[in-house]
Structure 1
Amino acid sequence: MRTCVRWWGRGGPLARSGVLLLLIPPFLLALQLLVVGPWLPRATRVGVEEQEGAVAFSVISIEPEKNSRQRGSPSRGPGLEEEEEVEVEDGGRREGARAFEDENEMHSRQMGPGTLEVQPWASDKPSFTAELNRIVTYIARAQLNCSRVLSPGQAQASHPPADSPHWLLCAEDWLLPAADRPCVAYSFSMNGGDADFLKTVSLLGCEVHSFDPSNSNASGGHLGNSLASNHGDGGVVSRHKMWLEWRAPRKRKHKTRGNLGSVSQTLADIMAALGHHTVHFLYADLLSAEWRVFQNWIELGTLQSVHHLVATVHLQWAGFEVGGTNEEVLRYWFSVLQGLQIFGLKLVHSSAGEGHSVLKQTVSNAHSSYTLSWVNTRH
């Protein structure tokens, strides 16, 4: 024992240093495993959660896949704005993301007999001036000359007036409904600007339906409430607290006559509820929702049932659920107009509105709105 103590005393410091050197690496390894190790997976999870928790966007694109590979084509579809996801619990967020993906797939499938083809750029590269000039040239020039027309508030056909009225209906014999056949007219307006239209189609003896969600005198939001007194009763205007929807429902149900159950429905569903296969005259001032409504009509093939269309298009801003750069929006608008033409609609009259603002830019060669009159030459 005394020897051991003496040995320890003589070699104590060196021995203790050697022992410590031998213990340090295992100690550090144990410290890493016991203290740092358990946090590594959590750190990884935190990083992922932070990424998942960041605001995400789903783009609803109307552009066919083949067009996305065209030269100068944007990475996201033109003309439709990005939808922002709501951040919720993990499970709810994933379910919401799935819902957005389902909606995207629904739009990409282009439900219906028609497809909205996105047109090529007006020039070699995206240009606001080139795109605007193309649209203005298109909507300011009649595609069909009518020798006889119906002017606002008039039911007697006459030669085109010298002045430019707000709208015109082409009154060529082959374009008007026969006198012994039913005539149906719809009007969608919230500003009372359809008074002359309602007067004209009423004098023609049409079955007339006026749709205005702000109308307190309407039929309580249910189309069936006023149909019995109107069906076949020419000249009587039925007013409905109803508006146009452009979003196709996820699961379409057959709409029976007089049964809609909502104050916002697609034109196809409204026609089905009213028992109409044809709308001879349709007036629409949709306050910047017209572009998406037109797209819905193109994709569902509803336009083949419309003979005369009078509609105001607004250019001040992109419109409801329409987004992208100014050049993309202009190209989308032109694509929609081309879609109308593909279904047989020919422009017979154009009337410029007030102001010179296009996509919040002041321009000299265009107006903020145009009221356009089309006729379907396929009927």
Structure 2
Amino acid sequence: MRACALRWGRGGLPLRSGILLLLIPPFLLALQLLVVGPRLPRVARAGVEEQEIAFSVISIEPERNSRQQESPSRRPGLKEEEEEIEVEDGERREGVRAYEDENEMHSRQYQYIDTCACSQMGPRTLEVQPWVTDKPSFTAEFNRIITYITRPQLNCSRVLSPGQAQASQPSADSPHWLLCAEDWLLPAADRLCVAYSFSMDGGDAHFLKTVSGLGCEVHSFDPSNSNASGGPLGNSLASNHGDGGVVSQHKMWLEWRAPRKRKQKTRGNLGSVSQTLADIMAALGHHTVHFLYADLLSAEWRVFQNLIESGTLQSVHHLVATMHLQWAGFEVGGTNEEVLRYWFSVLLGLQASGLKLVHSSAGEGHSVLKQTVANGRSSYTLSWANTGR
């Protein structure tokens, strides 16, 4: 045995070298683990450490994200009530309106409708038109409006004049308003005809006579009428079930706001209830209003904005409305130039909704936004026909 050991030391490999050869493989293995190990997925250990995931999760909550990212903005020409309210995630924002406008929610929800090639029009956001000139000018903005509202866009060979239920050819005399009586614009004889009128103190007498003579189901809304039925929505809005020529009186007015909570609210000392046109139509069970008359005493601008943005105008076939220019109107603010631009934007919004101007009648006075003008009047009664339905 001693000879073998000597022989190993002399003729074979040295003893120390053999030991080194035995240690090399474990060393290389440990080095490999140190270099490559951190790149390998980590195995879960008793539920403490989980394997790393090679993908990220993208949030799919568009409405909540849009509310968080959307900053409150004020449209030119509009006054809005502001207060601090609490949103769903517990955070608080300032500058948000005290009420949540249901129609604006629909506008945001269907915002893509305006950009796609759709055959039917739906809710849209009122587009504020650019200035006429490089800088705001009262004269330029006013002239643009007057030019627009005094030039009819649709020529009718047969018309209905105030108080007349028989169609005739247009005459040289300029009546207060006109209804285009072309066959393709009038309701079919075997279909229900519906007419709404919003006016105070009997100013719509001729309109009611005309649509009653056509055999329409007629609803007159006048909060100043003491003979009209009052009370909550269920009592004051009752359909006459298609009784042609019968006028149903309602002590109610037209609203442009959708309240945050669906509760009936009284206005002023009249005890009247205000509702949006869409709510009134739903309560009466009407999908279409063939003839709509509106003298809203300067509330027409905000009401029409609501009708444009909610898409309700698609259900109105004929519109007769008095536009008041003496002052900005309810909940409309800004400089005179901004107000004029807002008014023109509303007029173009009506056109974009399918309404074509049929007739224009100038009222009395020459005061516009408390300024005296020579080439304009304080009010205009405009008649439209919906050719986009």
Q: Same fold (TM over 0.5)?
A: yes
What is the match of residue 343 of structure 1? 353
What is the match of residue 78 of structure 2? 80
Distance 1:185 1:334, change over 3 A: same
What CA deviation, in whole Å up to 9, does each residue of 1:265-299 have, x standing for no partner? 00000000000000000000000000000001011
Distance 1:104 1:274, change over 3 A: closer
Q: Which amino acid aligns with 2:96?
A: E
1:269 & 1:150 partners in 2: Cα distance? Answer: 29
The alpha-carbon deviation at position 222 of structure 1 amounts to 4.1
Which aligned pairs between 1:252-271 and structure 2 lie closer than 5 A? 263-271=273-281
1:182 & 1:278 partners in 2: Cα distance? Answer: 9
> What SS does the aligned partner of 1:101 have?
strand
The alpha-carbon deviation at position 251 of structure 1 amounts to 5.1
Which aligned pairs between 1:37-56 and structure 2 lie closer than 5 A? none
Which of 234, 240, 245 is matched with 1:235 structurally? Answer: 245
For the pair 1:331 / 2:341, whether they are aligned, the reply is yes
1:185 & 1:224 partners in 2: Cα distance? Answer: 20
What is the match of residue 173 of structure 2? 163
Say how many residue pairs are matched.
293
1:206 & 1:105 partners in 2: Cα distance? Answer: 35
Which aligned pairs between 1:79-228 and structure 2 lie closer than 5 A? 79-81=77-79, 83=81, 101-103=96-98, 106=101, 109=104, 111-112=106-107, 113-222=123-232, 224-225=234-235
| Paired residues of 1:221 and 1:242 also in contact (CA < 8 A) | no
What CA deviation, in whole Å up to 9, does each residue of 1:68-91 have, x standing for no partner? 9xxxxxx953211364779xxxx9
What CA deviation, in whole Å up to 9, does each residue of 1:173-206 have, x standing for no partner? 0000011110000000013210000000000000
2:103 & 2:282 partners in 1: Cα distance? Answer: 25
What is the match of residue 363 of structure 1? 373
The alpha-carbon deviation at position 172 of structure 1 amounts to 0.2
Distance 1:110 1:225, change over 3 A: closer
2:231 & 2:353 partners in 1: Cα distance? Answer: 31
Q: Which amino acid aligns with 2:373?
A: V
Which of 314, 321, 343 is matched with 1:311 structurally? Answer: 321
The alpha-carbon deviation at position 125 of structure 1 amounts to 1.1
**Which entry has the higher C-alpha Rg, 1 or 2?**
2
| Paired residues of 1:222 and 1:240 also in contact (CA < 8 A) | no
| Paired residues of 1:142 and 1:347 also in contact (CA < 8 A) | yes
- Percent identity between the aligned chains? 84
For the pair 1:296 / 2:291, whether they are aligned, the reply is no
> What SS does the aligned partner of 1:307 have?
strand
Report the structure, 1 or 2, having the larger helix content: 1
Q: Is 366-375 or 214-223 further displaced after alignment?
A: 214-223
What CA deviation, in whole Å up to 9, does each residue of 1:32-67 have, x standing for no partner? xxxxxxxxxxxxxxxxxxxxxxxxxxxxxxxxx9xx
Distance 1:216 1:334, change over 3 A: same
Distance 1:228 1:299, change over 3 A: closer
1:291 & 1:81 partners in 2: Cα distance? Answer: 12
The alpha-carbon deviation at position 335 of structure 1 amounts to 0.3
Distance 1:227 1:333, change over 3 A: closer
> What SS does the aligned partner of 2:96 have?
helix
The alpha-carbon deviation at position 248 of structure 1 amounts to 2.0
Distance 1:121 1:227, change over 3 A: closer
Distance 1:367 1:263, change over 3 A: same
| Paired residues of 1:289 and 1:320 also in contact (CA < 8 A) | yes
> What SS does the aligned partner of 1:263 have?
strand
Distance 1:108 1:188, change over 3 A: closer
Q: Which amino acid aligns with 1:198?
A: L
2:168 & 2:303 partners in 1: Cα distance? Answer: 32
What is the match of residue 362 of structure 2? 352
| Paired residues of 2:103 and 2:306 also in contact (CA < 8 A) | no
For structure 1, the 5+ residue unaligned runs are 1-64, 69-74, 254-260
> What SS does the aligned partner of 1:179 have?
coil
Distance 1:202 1:367, change over 3 A: same
Q: Which amino acid aligns with 1:142?
A: P
1:167 & 1:222 partners in 2: Cα distance? Answer: 33
Distance 1:301 1:84, change over 3 A: closer
2:282 & 2:138 partners in 1: Cα distance? Answer: 41
| Paired residues of 1:82 and 1:323 also in contact (CA < 8 A) | no
For structure 2, the 5+ residue unaligned runs are 1-69, 108-122, 264-270
TM-score, length-scaled by structure 2: 0.70
1:108 & 1:199 partners in 2: Cα distance? Answer: 33
| Paired residues of 2:195 and 2:218 also in contact (CA < 8 A) | yes
| Paired residues of 2:78 and 2:332 also in contact (CA < 8 A) | yes
Distance 1:301 1:103, change over 3 A: farther
What CA deviation, in whole Å up to 9, does each residue of 1:202-256 have, x standing for no partner? 0000000000111111111445447667111000000000101101222569xxx
Q: Which amino acid aligns with 1:135?
A: I
